[in-house]
Amino acid sequence: MTNKKYEDHFIHRPLIEGTDIKHRIVMQGSKHHFGGLFQYYWLRWNCITKPVSMAEPHTHEFDEIFHFFGADPSDISDFQAVVELTMGEELEIYPITEPMIVYIPKGLVHAPINCKIINKPIIFMNVANTSEYVEKRWES
């Protein structure tokens, strides 16, 4: 531990091991970090390198925003993947084939997020206005 004044502003290696992907970054506002400063901020950042289907249909009591973009840092517009996002009680499937942001309002059924074709790695980042990610599984 150092005695620098702003040392508590840094989160070192905020990585958790995944069962579906190698690592992800998770930032949960008030639950673990910065003394509750970002009370309703939750972020999860995933680098998708191979086909994987994430989550089952669910709802939650907070809004969520999905961000999809290419993982090549020199050109994040290079999106060589097909993600099928399921939304609504109708289980409509929306193909994502280019960088995209998707708004998931609270209460809306969504998922799975099926990363069906991954020709080059992509980033899937989701942000939610909650302090803790609690989902309710949805049964049709």
Q: Under the rule (CB under 5 A), what is the footprint of Zn ion?
A: 64
Selection from 51, 45, 34 nearest residue 123 by Cα? 45
Q: Name the residue nearer to Zn ion (CB basis): 57 or 70.
A: 57
> Least Å distance between CB 8 and Zn ion?
30
> Least Å distance between CB 102 and Zn ion?
11
Closest CB to Zn ion belongs to which residue?
Answer: 64
Q: Name the residue nearer to Zn ion (CB basis): 20 or 75.
A: 20
Greatest Cα-to-Cα distance within the chain, rounded to the nearest angstrom: 56
Q: Name the residue nearer to Zn ion (CB basis): 64 or 70.
A: 64
> Least Å distance between CB 56 and Zn ion?
10
Q: Encoding tokens for residue 112?
A: 């799975």
Selection from 69, 126, 127 nearest residue 99 by Cα? 69
Selection from 126, 3, 123 nearest residue 55 by Cα? 126
